[in-house]
Structure 1
Amino acid sequence: MSDPIDRTGLRPRFWERVPMQKLTPKEWEALCDGCGKCCLNKLEDADTGEVVFTRIACRLLDDDTCRCGNYDCRKAIVPECVVLTPKNIADIAYWMPASCAYRRLWEGKPLLDWHPLVSGDAESVHRAGVSVRGWTLPEFDIPLEEWEDHIIEEEL
């Protein structure tokens, strides 16, 4: 017998019971907490592999909603955009924010209390102060050679 699906199309507390590889597309998308951190440009040290985040956002990030402004066509508009899937999470998780639900579940950690799936409120991520709402810089406004000047400390 399969799990019941509620009116949202999601199985109850699926993130605690269903392996990532067996999530429905709707459940996979629901894991996104809407923080916008994955849309921040990152710098990776070629020698050490260390990844740091900058305040510089992808050209498609909507700073108010912390969502992609053209999600369905993002890869065509921004070819370097990485589309996260259950198949590539193992290769990509290291540069996802430590608070990211995809990364946390892949690492065997629970979702944090402010995650909308736990709180039941899409605004909880913003109230908790873990989203990028209101403080990003547009990538076309900052010359690439100045990106290091905009490194941030990534926090939970």
Structure 2
Amino acid sequence: MPLQGKDAHDAATSAQQDAAAASAPETEEAPFWKRLTLEEMSPAQWESLCDGCARCCLNKLEDWDTGEIVWTAIACELLDEDSCRCRDYPNRHDFVPDCIPLDPKTVRTLTWLPPTCGYRLIAEGHDLYWWHPLVSGDPETVHEAGISTSGRTISESDIPVEEYEDYIVAWPGELPEPEKPKG
């Protein structure tokens, strides 16, 4: 069961510290995301797979005829556009009933999860990217690498639903190739 609020933050921080320690000397065992399945992860490990990009918090539109899903630059009203975190994570379903809780089964069925998503990457047998906080040890690298939605969104509370089509964007579903900083 995923943790929420301060518990999720504390758990993610603890998991990041564990990951940093696990990746240091070669005599240590591999980081948890390389040796455990999604189902085997603890709640703290599960929560720490979220890199904080907030791409999943963008509104999407589905073509009723074709089933095609497209992204918009319109963010959930609860998204803090600077930190790319939910303003009320523990109670988000009270305010946003269509917010989809992620679990191992759901992650494997949602075709719209971004290609950078830690949950999706691990479910598909891939490693996390260098900007992921579990790899970098720094929650800011997801922003520094330009992966997060920071500075690229508008709140859904500012846009009438009839105008959502005017905000269709492709970048959330694309895999960028930011260069890892040298040094």
Q: Could you say whether these structures have the same fold, taking a TM-score greater than 0.5 normalized by the shorter chain as the test?
A: yes
For the residue of structure 2 that corresponds to 1:54, the secondary structure is strand
Which protein is richer in helix relative to its size? 2
Letter in 2 for 1:8: S
Counterparts of residues 4-153 of structure 1 (less than 5 Å): 8-9=14-15, 10=18, 12=22, 13-92=31-110, 94-153=111-170
Tell me the equivalent position of 2:181: none
Following the alignment from structure 1 to structure 2, what is the Cα–Cα distance between the partners of residues 86 and 128?
27
Tell me the TM-score normalized by structure 2: 0.77
Aligned length in residues: 149
Tell me the TM-score normalized by structure 1: 0.89
Ranges in structure 1 where 5+ consecutive residues have no aligned partner = 1-6
Following the alignment from structure 1 to structure 2, what is the Cα–Cα distance between the partners of residues 21 and 58?
28
Letter in 1 for 2:125: G
For the residue of structure 1 that corresponds to 2:104, the secondary structure is coil
Following the alignment from structure 1 to structure 2, what is the Cα–Cα distance between the partners of residues 102 and 88?
10
Following the alignment from structure 1 to structure 2, what is the Cα–Cα distance between the partners of residues 27 and 121?
16
1:77 Cα offset (Å): 1.3
Following the alignment from structure 2 to structure 1, what is the Cα–Cα distance between the partners of residues 142 and 67?
29
1:114 Cα offset (Å): 0.9
Following the alignment from structure 1 to structure 2, what is the Cα–Cα distance between the partners of residues 108 and 58?
29
Following the alignment from structure 2 to structure 1, what is the Cα–Cα distance between the partners of residues 127 and 64?
31
Deviations 1:83-121 (A, max 9, x none): 1012322222x1111111111111222111111111111
Following the alignment from structure 1 to structure 2, what is the Cα–Cα distance between the partners of residues 103 and 133?
21
Identity percentage of aligned residues: 52
For the residue of structure 2 that corresponds to 1:88, the secondary structure is helix
Following the alignment from structure 1 to structure 2, what is the Cα–Cα distance between the partners of residues 142 and 76?
21
Following the alignment from structure 2 to structure 1, what is the Cα–Cα distance between the partners of residues 65 and 38?
31
